[in-house]
Structures are given as structure tokens and as C-alpha cells.
Chains A and B, each alone.
Chain A
Amino acid sequence: MSLFEVRNLSKKFGGLNVTNDVSISLNPGDRIALIGPNGAGKTTFVNLVTGHIRPDAGVVMIAGQDVTRLSPRARVHAGLVRSFQVTRLFPEMSPEEHVAMAILQRMGKVEKAFGDYRSMPEVMAETAEILGILNLTPIARSRVSGIAYGQQRLLEIGLAMALRPKVLLLDEPAAGVPSSDTVLIERALDRLPPDLAVLMIEHDMDFVFRFAQRVVVLAAGTVIFDGTPAQVAADPQVREAYLGSYAE
């Protein structure tokens, strides 16, 4: 039994098959890249899996539990966490508050109506550790609306770390980040726990090759390839899907 299993997932928007009978499974420690041209349905796949969109058919299982009908929130509690392609953060809050809130949620204390997280040593210690790993300590108390986009992307990863998921879905974690800063994102991903299963959507093939042991290619909602990074560049179907743009 896999840690995370998606079976025969399908979704139509209007007449368009955006997700077409997609099956993927992940084991603990997996590092998988999901690639495919723009509009292939990668983000929709993530939305279906996390419960932000309802699938027409298919099953999503986490550690043997069928979560297909659960709310996004319940799936987080089952161990499934995602990041967003376009950063979704709370503009008026600081990185410290973001990470602390995620930790409080994980500890089951986020609804406490008394006390201040800054007076909770265990929350503060972990928050400081995560912000330190991400090099966000200097701006820990700035408003997120005022920090650089690359730092916001790092904070998205920080939120995922704070939730300690079993399965992490990263939707283009480096999108919009200047190439000089992608190394920071890569370094942050290197610090993720080794037994965590990660599926990352990414366009930069050099990054994909460094990160993933396995690559899944999606084109027009269909999985057209599932194999090692070494094989993917040579696959004729993949070449065609990309019209040669990534194939060397």
C-alpha cells in the first residue's frame, strides 16, 4: 500500500477533459516532479487532490484512508499539505505570525482564545528554527505585503514545513522568483524531512533533474510519461508534447 495514492481521477470543465483518468502513487521519501506544458492540468490536479475542486470520478487515498470526500481541512489533518502556484499569504501578517499559526494549528491550539503565541516558548522556538532555515529571520516581523516575492515563496514552504505533512504538493515553488534566488528555494527543499513524500510541479528542467528521482508528465490532462529523469528527455511523446522546447 502506498502512502499516497490517486486512482483514475477525472474532471471536466465544460466539455474539456482537464484531468483525464490520472493515477499517481507516492511512497515515503519520494521526490517526484510533475511537469507538462501550460494548461496541461497540473494545478487542477493539485486542486482535485486537496479538495479545493470536486472531481467527477476517482479516488484519493492517504495512508490507506479514502479522503476523496473530505474537506481540504480534513485532508490537511490526514497529512496532505499543498503550496500555491500564485502565493497565497496574509498580506497584513508577518512571516513569524504565519509560521506560528501553522504550528499552533498542528498542535491543536489555533482556536485558543486566550494567551499570546509569543509567550509560548515551544511555538516560538520552532518558529525561529523554521524562519532560520529559510533565511527569513531578519524580516520575521515585517508585513508580508512588504517583503520580496522570493521571500514570500520561501514562506509558503515554511508554512508547509510547520504543518509537518506526510505528503507535500508544491505547485511551482520557484515560479516568479528571480533565478538568482531559486538556489534558496532548492536549499529549503533540501531541508525537508527525508521521509516526507514530495510531489513538485516545476518548469525548470535543470531544477527537476536535481530534485526528482521520478518524473510524471501530464499533457492535456493525461499522464503520458512516468519514469526516471534520464528517460524523460528521450521520450518521443514528451518531446512532442513540448514541441521540442525542453528536449535537448
Chain B
Amino acid sequence: MSNDAKTMTIWQRGLRSDLIACLLIGLIAVICFYAMPSGLSLLTRIIAIMLLVLSIDLVTGYGGVATLGHAALFGAGAYAAGIAAAKFGITDPLLMLLIGTIAGAIAGFLSSLVILRGHGLSQLVLSIAVIMLAREAANKFSTWTGGSDGLSGIAPSPLLGMWRFDLWGKTSYWLAVILLLVVFLILRQIVRSPFGMLVKAIRQDPIRVSAMGAPVYWTLVKMYVISGAVAGLGGALSAVATKVVGLDALSFELSAEAVVMLVLGGTANLFGAMIGTTVFIWFEHLVSSVNPFHWLTIVGVLLVTVVLFAPRGLTGIADQLRDKFGKGGAK
């Protein structure tokens, strides 16, 4: 084993640790599957939102772009997949996911052209404008989107012709887990690559990057396209799993909550996005079932606590502990 490690390149070692992380995530997914057979649709929802939060991590955590409109990309994927199924009879679930991914990438490209015009606060305002316009458009074209009633009539055919989307959501769940693992592996490659390093550098000092002769604007646009694809996949997954798409997929609330989940988990390491989403939605689910009237207050208190005592999020706490007790881990 240690002999192997010596002959492996750093890239291969990175891939190995990613595969180990995938095994762990898969193991957790198996445990969850057996531990709460009635909670599979909640878990699937968590994974769909996780894809949205991961996609925000790419542009905000890594790229430093401030956005409160990212659900536009998620919603684009959800509506594209939903409309393909409900209006064009494209019910193959993988095809629906592909359509959602492409729609998300296109939405990412278009919104980046708007959002990257601004900096700081104006960037934030532009991103809010994007989500509001997107929502308004979906409301307006109700013949296509179902407007405020939502888009129904989405009936995905069995996955690969073999697995029906059952009442318990088992097929959706495993589909979601596999998508998450694939996305995670790809994103780990991207963030460790020269391109990923360039994006991180742009967050820290774009003028320095341009003085080194590297592209700033188009690099961020590209990252936005990748991010849009991931968010669009998340939206399409939610359309496939829930068989409806509502205007809430295109909401400012979802955009803002997703940013909160990212901050809660910790930015720019991908794990934070996944942990933050899980903790937030889980907590929301628990608290709202115990006390449906005050769950927002309780979630608010949780957030203030995290931001005050662990400004770098839950994964930041882990980093601090690791720094404190020596071991410099691979990151």
C-alpha cells in the first residue's frame, strides 16, 4: 500500500482520496436507505438541493461572485426537464436530466453575462434581478410552465427501461445518489485543475490575474456555465423525482437559502456544500414538524450561532481542529 503511494502521481493520489470520499458518501447513502425507508423523498430532495448548493460553491466559494439568484439555474433545469416530459413527451429520465443540465448551462451563461457586469453590491442586486425576471417569465408563459399552479403531467418512464419510479421513491433516491457521486468526482477534478486554481486566484485578486496574462472575465463565465449545468441537473432531478415543477424552484427564497446552506457548511471545498445542505434541510424538517410556527426563528438562531462561532462554517471547524492537532491533511 505505502509502496503504491510512492509511485502514484499527486493527481492519482487525489483521485484515490476522492474515490474514498465517494465510498463514504455511498455508505452513508446505503445506511440512510435502510434506516429510514419512509424518508427517501426527503433525502432525494436534499440531494437535488445539494447540487444547487454545490453549483453556488463553484461561483461564490471558489470564484468570489456574489449571487442571490442562483435558483434561476436550478429552475431552468427543472422547467426544461418538466416541459420536455409534459409537453413534448420526452419521458426518458436520463434524457430529461440531460435536457435540464443543458438548460442550466445556458441559463448559467446568460445570467453570467448580466451578473458579471457588476461588482460587490451591484453584483448582488443584478443577481436578484435575474431571479425575479426568471420567475416573472415563468409566471407569464403559463401555457408552458403552468404558472402559479405549477407544471404537472410529468411522467418519467422507467430508468433504463428497467426501474420504475415507484411510490416510495427508491429509484429516484438511487438515481440521485449516483448523480451526486458523479458530479462530486467531476467537480473535484475541476477545482484541483489549473482552471480551478485560476478561479480561486481571481477571487483573491483579479487585477493580479490579468497582470499575469490570464483571462478573468471568460474564466468566470466558463465557471458559471459549469455551475449552471450542475444546478440544472439538480432542478431536473427534482422534476423527475417529484413529477411537478412549481414557481418555488425559481424563487429568491430558494436562492438565498441555498447560500445560507453553503455558508453553514463552509465554502470552497465542496464538502461544506453537501454537509451544509444536509444539516439545514434536516434541521428545517425536524424543527418544522415539532414547531411549525417558530421554525424560522430557530433556524435563524442556528445561523447566527454558526456565523459568530464558526465563521468558516462546519467544515471550517474541522479544518481548525486539524490545524490545531498537527496533521496537515491533503486539500
Chain A contacts to B: CB under 8 angstroms = 50, 52, 71-73, 76-77, 81-82, 84, 88-93, 97, 100-102, 104-106, 109-119, 159, 163
Contacts and interface: CB of A to CB of B under 8 A. Distances in A.
A33 B198 CA distance: 33
Contacts of A159: 212
- Top 7 closest pairs, chain A to chain B, by CB: A76-B213, A119-B11, A119-B9, A118-B10, A90-B204, A116-B11, A113-B195
Given A77-B213, A101-B214, A105-B213, A115 B11 contact: yes
Contacts of A106: 213
B212 A101 contact: yes
- Interface size class on chain B is 20 to 34
Contacts of B286: none
Given A111-B195, A116-B10, A93 B208 contact: no
Given A81-B211, A101-B198, 19 more contacts: A73-B210, A73-B213, A73-B215, A76-B210, A76-B212, A89-B208, A92-B204, A93-B204, A97-B197, A100-B197, A101-B197, A101-B201, A101-B214, A105-B214, A111-B194, A114-B189, A115-B11, A116-B14, A116-B193
Contacts, number: 97
B306 interface: no
Given A73-B213, A113-B189, A118-B10, A88 B196 contact: no
A73 B214 contact: yes
A72 B9 contact: no
A27 B12 CA distance: 46
B18 to A, nearest CB: 12
Main secondary structure of the interface of B (DSSP, over half): helix
Contacts of A113: 189-190, 193-196
B9 A92 contact: no
A52 B197 CA distance: 23
Interface string B2-37: 000000011110100000000000000000000000
B201 A112 contact: no
B212 A105 contact: yes
B200 interface: yes
